[in-house]
Chain A
Amino acid sequence: EVQLVESGGGLVQPGGSLRLACTASGFSFSSYWMSWVRQAPGKGLEWVANIKEDTTEKYYVDSVKGRFTISRDNAKNSMYLQMNSLGADDTAVYYCARQRGAFEIWGQGTMVTVSS
């Protein structure tokens, strides 16, 4: 079964850091671009970042540039999102998704709450 499972979410204070992980199974992880997409409570979807199969290209939405870092380990079928200098606006469910133009496969999401 093709599956993506996110982990690492939780409650963090403003200015703090968190590292999310996404573990893939059921497909050739190293053959796909991968993305992070987030959804603030009661709001719409926002693409956050993506990374090429071989890590040579990475792109970010303007609001997270310089604060978030996307990475992947193809040997572990895993992708990561290092989030620093977190603010209230970063509170959201974070989804990982397999991307081939479309976000074809989604994980169930992990909640990140930034609050004191």
Chain B
Amino acid sequence: SYELTQPPSVSVSPGQTARIACSGDALPKQYTYWYQQKPGQAPVLVVSKDSERPSGIPERFSGSSSGATVTLTISGVQAEDEADYYCQSADSSGTYWVFGGGTKLTVL
């Protein structure tokens, strides 16, 4: 079955830039989406279609793609950004959906 790979954890100090990568064979063909999830809450979409920022999401959240790897970048990280982040995409057929394993962002 198709898999997306993320690092389990990323740590940054406040004000620094956090980058979370996600890799998968079908990523060159399929859009990737990113979600933020805080403890006890439902996920929230923070980046759509590789690099689009939904309404209401701060400008410090951005996305980019290069081949089979996509990256979520959080510029000027704030304490409130500490959360789990998940990438999500579809398999090559576009039929079945998959999430990455999640990355825990720690703000030191």
Partner-B contacts on A (CB < 8 A):
35, 37, 44-47, 50, 59, 61-62, 95, 101-104, 106-109
Within the complex, what minimum Cβ distance (angstroms) separates A91 from chain B? 17
A45 in contact with B43 (CB, 8 Å):
yes
B86 in contact with A44 (CB, 8 Å):
yes
Partner-A contacts on B (CB < 8 A):
1, 31, 33, 35, 37, 42-45, 48-49, 54, 84, 86, 88, 95-102
Partner of A106, one of B1, B43, B99: B43
B45 in contact with A104 (CB, 8 Å):
yes
Within the complex, what minimum Cβ distance (angstroms) separates A65 from chain B? 11
Chain A contact surface mostly: strand
Partner of B99, one of A44, A59, A62: A44
B48 in contact with A59 (CB, 8 Å):
no
Q: How far is the CA of A101 from the CA of B97 in the complex (A)?
A: 9
Within the complex, what minimum Cβ distance (angstroms) separates B79 from chain A? 23
A103 in contact with B102 (CB, 8 Å):
no
Q: How far is the CA of A46 from the CA of B49 in the complex (A)?
A: 19
Q: How far is the CA of A44 from the CA of B37 in the complex (A)?
A: 10
Q: How far is the CA of A42 from the CA of B42 in the complex (A)?
A: 14
Contacts of B101 in A (CB 8 A): 44
